[in-house]
Amino acid sequence: MNNRAVVMKLRSLLAAALLACGSVASASELGEPLDKFAQSSLQSALDIRSSGHLVLMSPVREIRGEIRSDVMARLPVNGKGQLFEINRDASRRAAQEHYRRELQARGGQILFECSGVACGRSNVWANQIFEQPRLLGRDQDQDYFVGAVADVDGNRWLTLVYTVTRGNQREYVWVEHLQVAAGADIPGFQASAARLLGPIIVPWQGGVTHRFDLSTTDRRRLGEWAAEEGAEVVLAAFSSLENDETLNDSIARAERAAGALADVLAKSGVSREQVRILAIGPGVQVADPNRTGDRIEILVIKR
């Protein structure tokens, strides 16, 4: 395979993985609710059993008292909903990031996310979708995402996370973890994405020498992923476009950073032969405030 073909293949894999998150978890682990955000307290819990539970995968609208959304599904599910109040010394954004990481650790794939007024009206989410009045807050201070994960036997689970700041400044998070009945179609979910683990986001700084913000937890997780036989490690290198910098120069900066990170990973057991570098620079923009600027997104592809 020539270099151009390799690059095109890696680009297609990256595009498929931009919304993917992952790790390895057993079926029993996948069936349990995500670990709660430590700086929160449980307010209530609800068993959810429904032959047509409403799951939204696009912004919500209310038209003449009827819920409308471009992508929505009513699914047969069995699971639990939990309402948490976030401690005053914490934040709902930290809570949301916690649940993202929990979903990532299970091999989850984000199907839809929104923030602020782009989600629609908080009143609709609180009172009509989740039926939790304490979730009623300001439209500009809400976030939502829905993710899915499957095990090797084809069992599937959905996780819905909604956070909001109320008018009294108290913050809440609502978490649903639901097993979806066999045969039901989950819009946008491909179980084959379980082969794509990541991304692990690694911000970087420097030029001649580089500094990487790679936590011990992420380093350990990457080592476990890469240890699987036949695993390939893709370093997708992003960079911002600096003043008076050409596109080629920005891509070259990103490629040098990825090479430096590959050398760092080689010292911790990730073979250089496993690594594929994909220099993207500023050429791809991701609609996630946590995925901007100079960074490397690490994706592991299982055989």
Compute the half-sphere exposure of residue 56: CA atoms within 13 Å on the CB side of its CA. 22
The whole-angstrom separation of Cα 171 and Cα 87 is 8
What sign has the CA pseudo-torsion 128, 129, 133, 136? Answer: negative
Per-residue model confidence (pLDDT) at position 27: 52
Percentage of residues of the chain with pLDDT beyond 70: 87
Percentage of residues of the chain with pLDDT beyond 90: 54
Q: Give the pLDDT band of residue 152 (cuts 50, 70, 90).
A: low
Taking only the tens place, the pLDDT of each residue in 27-66 is 567 888 899 999 999 999 999 999 999 999 888 887 766 7
Taking only the tens place, the pLDDT of each residue in 161-188 is 999 999 899 999 999 999 999 889 898 8
Q: Kindly state the helix (H) or strand (E) to which residue 123 belongs, with its residue range.
A: helix 122-124
SS (HEC) of 52-86: EEEEECCCCEEECCEEECCCEEEEEEEEEEEEEEE
Average pLDDT score, the chain: 85
Q: Are 250 and 302 in contact (CB under 8 A)?
A: no
Q: Above 60 in pLDDT, residue 1?
A: no
Q: Tokens 């992508």 — which residue?
A: 71
Average pLDDT over residues 18-32: 54
Instruction: Please say whether the structural domain 3-21+191-301 has been given the CATH code 3.30.1330.60.
Output: yes
The whole-angstrom separation of Cα 83 and Cα 7 is 45
Q: Above 70 in pLDDT, residue 6?
A: no
Q: Above 50 in pLDDT, residue 21?
A: no
- Read off the tokens for 234: 């893709």
Residue-wise burial string across 220-240, b where 16 or more C-beta atoms lie within 10 A, e elsewhere: ebbeebbeeeebbbbbbbbbe
Per-residue model confidence (pLDDT) at position 10: 47
What single-letter amino acid sits at 14? L
Taking only the tens place, the pLDDT of each residue in 260-291 is 999 999 998 899 999 999 999 998 877 667 78
Residues 6 or more apart in contact with residue 243 via CB below 8 angstroms: none
Q: Give the pLDDT band of residue 23 (cuts 50, 70, 90).
A: very low
Q: Comparing 17-21, 47-51, 66-70, which segment has the lowest mean pLDDT?
A: 17-21
Q: Give the pLDDT band of residue 194 (cuts 50, 70, 90).
A: low
Per-residue model confidence (pLDDT) at position 256: 95
Name which of 218, 214, 207 is nearest 264 in CA terms.
214
Sketch the domain layout of the chain as residue ranges. 3-21+191-301, 32-180
The whole-angstrom separation of Cα 3 and Cα 8 is 9
Per-residue model confidence (pLDDT) at position 287: 66
The whole-angstrom separation of Cα 133 and Cα 123 is 8
Determine how many CB atoms are found less than 10 A away from the CB of residue 141. Answer: 18
Per-residue model confidence (pLDDT) at position 18: 47
Average pLDDT over residues 113-139: 92
Q: Above 70 in pLDDT, residue 88?
A: yes
Average pLDDT over residues 239-253: 92
Per-residue model confidence (pLDDT) at position 230: 87
Q: Above 70 in pLDDT, residue 14?
A: no
